[in-house]
Amino acid sequence: ERQARLDDNRRALDEAAELGTDVLVLVCGPAVDRDIGAARAYVEEAIAQLIPYAAERGVKLGIEPLHPMYAAERSVIVTLAEANRLVHRLDHNHVGVVIDAYHVWWDPDIYTRIVEAAGRILGFHVSDWLVPTPDLLMGRGMMGDGVIELRRLRYAVEAAGYTGPIEVEIFNQALWDMPCDDVLQLMRTRYLDYV
């Protein structure tokens, strides 16, 4: 299974290079058994193996920590602190972090962690955390419908040197079912008001 995961990531790097993007966002996991420590060690080992392949293709590897509720199913890297430590240990200009507001907003040390990520931030994603949360995967909200202080997070990410695009990433079937033009107009308005 490990080789299959590496091969899958190499194919994704090939596709990213073909599309002309400069970052491949990595979702690091889940653990294949109950040993989450071993899974985290494997993630580091696997990324280290992917670095030369990524560098040859001119694509950076963006480690995106996911909310801890996803640790068992999607990613064993669940805090920006973990992602920062991983990037520091790998110490290569083709590895950085992707900060997704939905996944990191809850962390009491998030602003310190963003400062620590300075110069290594490869992406910034926004959406909102709805209360109550209707679904663990498909329960993200449009900016302004939830509790995340998006503008403060954006200012912190920009103060840490990030000047790239800000991606609106909302997994929500109700929004997906709306007419595209309506969603884009709402997204534009909410982005300007809250991000």
| Segment 160-183, tens digit of pLDDT | 999 999 999 999 999 999 999 999
Is pLDDT above 80 for 94? Answer: yes
Distance CA 194, CA 151 (A): 6
Percent of the chain scoring above 90 in pLDDT = 92
| pLDDT (mean) for 35-60 | 96
Mean pLDDT over each residue of the chain, to the nearest integer: 97
| Residue 116 · residue 65 · CB < 8 Å | no
- Whole-model pTM? 0.96
- State residue 14's pLDDT score: 98
For residue 122, the domain's CATH number is 3.20.20.150
For the cut 80, the answer to whether the pLDDT of residue 1 exceeds it is no
Average pLDDT over residues 89-109: 98
Count of domains forming the chain: 1
Banded model confidence at residue 34, pLDDT cuts 50, 70, 90: confident
Q: Percentages helix, strand, coil for the chain, rounded to the nearest 5?
A: 50, 15, 40
Helices (H) and strands (E) in the chain, counts: 8, 7
Give the dihedral sign, CA 74/81/169/126. positive
Q: pLDDT digit string (tens) for 52-87?
A: 999 999 999 999 999 999 999 999 999 999 999 999
Q: Which domain holds residue 60?
A: 2-194
- Indicate whether 29 pLDDT > 90: no
**Nearest CA to 98 among 44, 51, 62?**
62
